[in-house]
Amino acid sequence: MLRGAVQPLGRITSAIDKHPVSGPVTVTAAGIDGDAQADRRVHGGVDKAVHCYARAHYPAWRLELADCALLEQPGAFGENLSIDGIDETSVCIGDRWRIGSALFTVTQGRQPCYKLNLRFGVGDMAARVQDSLRAGWYLRVETPGIIAAGDMIELVARPHAQHSIAALLALIRDRDTDAQRIAAVLALPLTPSWRRLFERRAQTQGVEDWSGRLEGG
């Protein structure tokens, strides 16, 4: 479990630099107690209260980014929970989890932004994360509680087993506008931002401009 404070990151500020927390910590609808976000318009909020990242992705990134000190420990991608045993292919939208005494819902995958470029010093890092589908995912806190590093994740419910986070991220990455596939996605309990994204694709048969998100202004 990790959290961070807002601090300078190149020309901007960010709380992407997360550090391990020892001992039990309270989790509320706003996220992990003591964790911060620099810009809550695009980070944090109830639908992105907790960011998860699969620990199993780190070896692949170490091969791709040799000698990157950030990858020596969890938190490189700004995650709050570094998770063993599951990844985007085995996590589905709407999954209900119990961790410690708190209850969570998986809400959406992460759409990486240019802050990863600044953090890693790699000009196309956000695009690499998007293309790899090793992006992570977000949780909403349904019932506040206490969690601690090492807590087991109990899958309480899986109402949408055919819709993994990886599959939805791939639809976005691949610029998919297939009407049948988009209609199936729109039947899911999407966050407002993802509903707007997929509704726009359904209505226009076009794809959103990613340049601002991936490259910065």
DSSP string, 42-54: TS-SGGGSEEEEE
CATH of the domain at 158: 2.40.33.20
Tell me what pLDDT residue 111 has. 97
- CB neighbours of 185 closer than 8 A, spacing ≥ 6? 163, 168, 171, 198
Q: Are strands 19-20 and 137-143 parallel, antiparallel or unpaired?
A: unpaired
Tell me what pLDDT residue 107 has. 98
Tell me what pLDDT residue 37 has. 82
Tell me what pLDDT residue 42 has. 65
Tell me what pLDDT residue 40 has. 67
Per-residue pLDDT of the chain (217 residues; tens, 9 = 90+): 999 999 999 889 999 999 999 899 999 999 999 998 867 666 678 999 999 999 999 999 999 999 999 999 999 999 999 999 999 999 999 999 999 999 999 999 999 999 999 999 999 999 999 999 999 999 999 999 999 999 999 999 999 999 999 999 999 999 999 999 999 999 999 999 999 999 999 999 999 999 999 999 6
DSSP 3-state helix, strand, coil percentages of the chain (rounded to 5)? Answer: 30, 25, 45
Residues linked to residue 147 through DSSP beta bridges, in sequence order: 25
Sheet holding 153-157, edge to edge: 81-83, 50-54, 137-143, 102-109, 96-99, 153-157
Structure tokens at 115: 């802050």
> What is the domain range of residue 31?
2-215
Tell me what pLDDT residue 44 has. 73
Query: Could you give the 3-state DSSP secondary structure of residue 3?
Result: strand
Tell me what pLDDT residue 187 has. 98
Nearest 5°: the CA angle 50, 52, 58 is 150
Q: What is the pTM of this model?
A: 0.96
Domains held by the chain: number: 1
- CB neighbours of 106 closer than 8 A, spacing ≥ 6? 91, 92, 93, 94, 95, 97, 137, 138, 139, 165
Neighbour-count burial of 82, counting CB atoms closer than 10 A to its CB (0-12 exposed, 13-18 middle, 19+ buried): buried
